Chain A
Amino acid sequence: MNPFRYERANDAAGAVAAHGAAAAAAYLGGGTNLVDLMKLRVARPETLVDVARLAHDRIDVLPSGGVRIGAAVKNSVLAADRTIRSQYPMLSGALLSGASGQLRNLATTGGNLLQRTRCTYFADVSKPCNKRDPGSGCPARTGYHRTLGIFGISESCIATHPSDMAVALAALDAIVRVRGASGEREIPLGDFYRLPGTEPQYDTVLEPADLIVAVDLPPNGFARSSLYRKARDRASYAFALVSVAAALEIEDGRVREVRLALGGVAPKPWRATAAEAALRGKPATEASFLEAAEAELAHARPLPDNAFKIALARNMIVRALCDLAEAA
């Protein structure tokens, strides 16, 4: 691990100022990903600004009916929150399917959004990786890639985003509230992550000193009927091969509203907009669900060892929607 200076911030403004004033600074939340990457020498910050104790540790119902989640709220606390469990079950489900009980007790909402890919080449400094060391190359295309992306990937990078929580937030049209050098702004989750293109080193649109202070869930009529499903190599405590966050609202046998986002398949939580468009107004039947899944998966660009994700994603989407339709 590189030597670093440690600073505990008292408030958001102080944190942003401390980060902005220091070279090669990083914010520290729970540290479950950052400290690991520092041990591996993938991350080498010279200053850590600890934001885990900032007052952003509340979950508040907003006057609009939506919910504001403080960036320092622990993953375990968010998953167990009564409002989230009853109004946004896909979000509780996503959080509970990620990591372990110990890690969820440390990990924060803001940190979860900013965790880095678990591509094995990214974590191994003895190997080239365009995300870690721009221009060095990508061994994954011709190497180990069964866990990597089928959507949104580029010649330079095929890494997947590892978060389960962010997949549910993508389906829920969450808003990320960010404090930067020039004050606070809102970034819709759909605009928060960037695709790799030729610059895979940038996971998000955040500027260096930008601090996530909260995540807002807009009010809606469908999230109560939602779920999160995850397929992985072992029954628990593993990253997704494919995951599905789905919400469904049915009126007179037809799909009134649907939300679908996929995890484990792309460099960002993958909102399945083609599938959603194909479903709105259609009969809420297995045949419609299958057609919608195929409309989305027609855009997939798999590699030899991850082509299985297409059939897996198709089956998971259909099953999730059938289960939601049956429960409605």
Chain B
Amino acid sequence: METEITLHINGAERRLAIDTRMTLLDALRERLGLTGSKKGCDHGQCGACTVLIEGRRANACLALAVAHAGDAIVTIEGLGSAGELHPLQRAFVAFDGLQCGYCTPGQICSAAGMIEEAEAGWPSVVSEDLELPQYDLCDDEIRERMSGNLCRCAAYANIVPAIASVARRPARVSA
């Protein structure tokens, strides 16, 4: 059934008439030309569609667009641009954190959200102490916290150090 919604994408308001069945991912890709977010499994299992909703990483393939009208949404296109790459984008280039690149936008959006979570003091299931004020992102923490992003090329060996280079940088300026 048709409905009109306003989405807040990368700081801009976008008014759309959509079918209620349309996912946020399809709205981004098919209606707004934002094809950075990728459709991998379309069932929340691969993480290629990861975007930030109200600052938190989420699977756009399982989010109905109509249910996220009014939410502030940031996609890979909003994190950085060709002229001014996000630190995570620079790190993925520097560390060769990809092969085919299809999962990369989701990996980078997920990593951006994940780093904020650790800084906010959110533990993970591999954290030995659940009550620390903040969590340092050792390789095991990065692997666990990024387990919702699959890479079929298995570029993990370079993805982990790419993320670590940003997560462990002192006095990081948040994007």
Contact = CB atoms under 8 A, between A and B. Distances in A.
Given A28-B64, A96-B123, A102 B20 contact: no
A299 interface: no
Given A3-B1, A4-B1, A50-B67, A80 B120 contact: yes
Contact of B130 (A89, A236, A237): A89
A79 interface: yes
Interface residues of B, number: 40
User: How large, as a class, is the contact surface on chain A?
Assistant: 35 or more
A39 interface: yes
B148 A76 contact: no
B136 interface: no
Interface string B65-99: 01100000000000000000000000000000000
A32 B62 contact: yes
Given A93-B125, A97-B125, A5 B148 contact: no
A35 B124 CA distance: 26
A85 B63 CA distance: 28
Contact of B43 (A5, A36, A89, A100): A36
A28 B44 contact: no
A106 B143 contact: no
A308 interface: no
Interface string B1-27: 101000000000000000111010000
Given A52-B67, A79-B122, A237-B147, A102 B50 contact: yes
B58 interface: yes
Contact of B59 (A97, A102, A235): A102
Contact of A35 (B62, B120, B147): B62
Interface of A: 1, 3-6, 8, 28, 30-32, 35-36, 38-39, 48, 50, 52, 76, 79-80, 82, 85-86, 89, 92-93, 96-97, 99-103, 105-106, 235-237
